[in-house]
Amino acid sequence: MSYLAGRGIADITGEAAGCGMLGYGKAEQQSTGIHTRLHARAFALCDGEGRRILLVVCELPLMSAGVVRDVLRRLPDGYTESNVMITATHTHCGPGGYFHHELYNSNTGGFREQTYRAIVDGIVEAARAAHADLAPAVLRLAHGELLGASVNRSRRAFDRNPAADRAHFPHAVDPQTTVLRIEREGRLAGAVNWFATHNTTMTNTNTLISADNKGYAASCWERHAKSAGLVTAFAQTNAGDMSPNLLLRPGSGPTEDEFENTRIIGSRQYEAALALDGDELTGRLDARLTHVDLSKVTVRPEFTGDGRTHRTSGPVAGASAFAGAWADGPGFKGFRPGRNLLWDTLSQQVIYPLAPGLRDAQSPKGLCLPAGLVNRLRPVIQERIPVQLLRIGPLYLIGLPAEVTIVAGLRLRRTVADIVGADPAQVLVAGYSNAYAHYVTTPEEYDAQEYEGGSTLFGRWELPALCQSTAGLAEAMRDGVPAGRGTPERLRPPRRRHRRQGSDSPHPGRDFGDVLSFGRDGSVVTARFVAAHPGNDLRRGGTYLAVERLCAGGGDGGEGDWIRTADDGDWSTTFRWAAAGGSASTVTVTWDVPADTAPGSYRLRYFGDTTSGPFTGATGPFEVPGR
C-alpha cells in the first residue's frame, strides 16, 4: 500500500520567567530562563484509501485534555479525536499552568494563559505544517535494543511480578527501541523513536526550561542530518518505572553533572535510533478511541487474574505518591515509598472497614488525597480518560494518558497482540497521550505501594480495566466496526488567578539592552544585559539571544555583516533572567563555545521587549581562535 507522509515542527515554549515548572511539583522550581526551547513535532500519514493518522510529539511535562480539545478544533477536516494522538515527552523542566484540572496548576499561581496559548498555537502550527507537507513516502519500521539509558527505579515492586513476566525483562528494564522512518526519494525526511526512559535527567533544582534527554536526542539528529528539513521525535512508551539516572540518585549517572548526563542519555537514544533502518511497511492505517470513566469500571474475570469480577474506585492518591520517585527527585517531607504508618493505620483500621468496595479497589494503599471527593467541588484530577488504538501497517500504538510500568505495558501489549494477531514487539504503549491520569502498575506491583503504586489512583484493578478497554478497541479494529465513544470529561473553565504586576524600568543611568558585564572563562563566554521581563513577549518561534559571527570580508561590521550561528534553542547557550530590585532586571547570556566552532569574530546579542516595543543589546566583537 502506498502512503503519503508529512512533517512539521513548531515552538511551544511557555513562560521563561516566574512560572512554576510541571513534573516535580516543587513550589520553588520557578522558571528563570531557557537552556533549550520546547517543540512540537507532527507527523501526518495517509494511506492509499485515504485513511489518516496524525501523531504529534510534544516536549512538555504532561498532556492536557484542554490542550487536546482546543487543538482538535483547529485542525483541517479529516482529523478527529480518534486518529490524532498528541503525546508528551515528559520533561520535568517545562512551564506548567496549562491544565483545566487544578492539581497541575498548584505551583504556578493558577492557570497561565500565555503558556497555554503558546502550547496550543504551536501544536496547531506543527500539525498544519505536517498536513500541508503530505507527499508520497516510504515508511520503514525497525526495532533494536538499548541498554545503558534506563534503570528500574522501583525494583522492589517489579520483583513482585510473576517469573514469566520478569523473564521478559532480564535486566529489569525495557530495552526495546523502535523507529518509524519516513523516506522520500531514498532520503530520510522524518523519524519517530519510542524508548522507555523517564525524561528526568535534569533535576528539580534546575530552573531553566529544558527538553531534557529526549529533546537533546531529537535536536542532535536534526542538526547532524545531511537531509535539510529533517524532523525527528523521541517519544515515550511504558516508562513508568524507568529512570535515566543510572545510579538511582537525582542527577547521578553516568556522571554527577545533570547537563552532561542529559547529553549522554540523549546521545545514546539518538545513536541507537540512527543505527536502525528496517523493512518497508505495508498495510492500512486505522484508529479507534473510547472514553473510559476509570472511577467506575466493572472489570470482568478474564481480565482481573483471580477469576472474579472487581470494580475500580474514584481516584485516591496514596501516601507513597507524595514521597516522590527517589531516583528522580524526592517528594515531600514526612512521606516515604512503601509503607507510611499513620496513613496505613488510618486506612486499614478506620476507612476500609466502613467501605468494603473501596477496600477491594484500593487496599493496601494508605489513602491520603481523596481526589474523587474533591472533584465534586473543583476539578483536580481527570476521571474520564481517552483510551486510543492506532494502527500504522503492522505497528499498533496504545494511546494512554498515563505513566505505565514496563510489566503493565507488557500485559497491555500482549492483550492487543493476541486479538489482532501481531507480534508483541509490534505493539507499543504510547504513554502520556491525549490527557493525564497518573500511573498504571500491575496489581502485584500495586501491593508494594512504591511511588508508582501510590500514584495508581484508581486502585489495583486499574490495569485490568485498561486491558479490558483496550481489548474492546482491538476487537473493533480487527472486525472493522466502530468502537463506542463513551462520555468525554467535561472541562470546566480554569481559574485564571495568575496576574503579573508592574512594568519594567532600566537600571539607573542605563538603557534597556546595555551591557553590564562581559567575560570569558575558558570556552565559556558570558554577557549580562539590562533587561525586561521575558513575559512581555514569549518570542515563540524566535529567540531571546543570538550568537553571531562576522562574515568574511565583513568590512565595518554593520548589521548586515553578522550571521547567526546559535540561538536560545541551542545546547551551547543559556538564557537566564533575574530580578534586580524594583522593576529592574538583568539577563545573562552564556555561550559554551563548541569545539568545532569556526574561528573568527563573534558577538552575543539579547532581544527583549517592554510594553513599548522590542529592543536589542549586543556585546562588542570577540575572537574565537582556531583549535
- Annotated catalytic residues are 243
Grid coordinates belonging to 251: 542527577
Tell me the three state secondary structure of residue 177: strand
Neighbouring residues of 185: CB distance < 8 A, sequence distance ≥ 6: none
User: What's the distance, CA 95 to chain centroid?
Assistant: 12
Residue 111, φ and ψ in degrees, nearest 5 = -70, 135
Q: Are 123 and 251 in contact (CB under 8 A)?
A: no
Using CA atoms, how far apart are residues 118 and 125, in angstroms rounded to an integer? 10
Q: Are 621 and 590 in contact (CB under 8 A)?
A: no
Q: Are 392 and 45 in contact (CB under 8 A)?
A: yes
Which run of H or of E encompasses 131?
Answer: helix 113-132
Using CA atoms, how far apart are residues 584 and 200, in angstroms rounded to an integer? 33
Of 425, 427, 515, 549, nearest to 478 (Cα)? 427
**Which parts of 305-351 fold into alpha helices (H)?**
341-346
Give me the half-sphere count of Cα atoms (radius 13 Å) on the Cβ side of residue 429. Answer: 30
Proportion of the chain in helix, strand, coil states, percent, rounded to 5: 25, 30, 45
Beta bridge partners, 439, equal 403
168-174 LR contacts (CB < 8 Å, sep 24+): 168/407, 168/410, 169/406, 169/407, 169/410, 171/147, 173/147, 173/242, 173/406, 174/150, 174/237, 174/238, 174/242, 174/406, 174/409, 174/410
Which run of H or of E encompasses 394?
Answer: none
Of 237, 292, 238, nearest to 472 (Cα)? 292
Grid coordinates belonging to 620: 562588542
Using CA atoms, how far apart are residues 31 and 28, in angstroms rounded to an integer? 9
Across 38-50, b (16+ Cβ under 10 Å) vs e yields: bbbbbbbbbbeee
Residue 148, φ and ψ in degrees, nearest 5 = 90, 10
Using CA atoms, how far apart are residues 380 and 140, in angstroms rounded to an integer? 41
Identify the burial level of 311 via C-beta atoms within 10 angstroms of its C-beta, where 0-12 means exposed, 13-18 middle and 19 or more buried. Answer: middle
Using CA atoms, how far apart are residues 483 and 428, in angstroms rounded to an integer? 20
Give whole-number Cα distances, 274 to 89, 182, 191, 292, 592, in Å: 19, 13, 9, 37, 26
Using CA atoms, how far apart are residues 592 and 572, in angstroms rounded to an integer? 5
Give me the half-sphere count of Cα atoms (radius 13 Å) on the Cβ side of residue 259. Answer: 11
Q: What is the largest CA-CA distance in the chain?
A: 84
Angle at 525 (CA atoms; ends 521, 529), nearest 5 degrees: 125
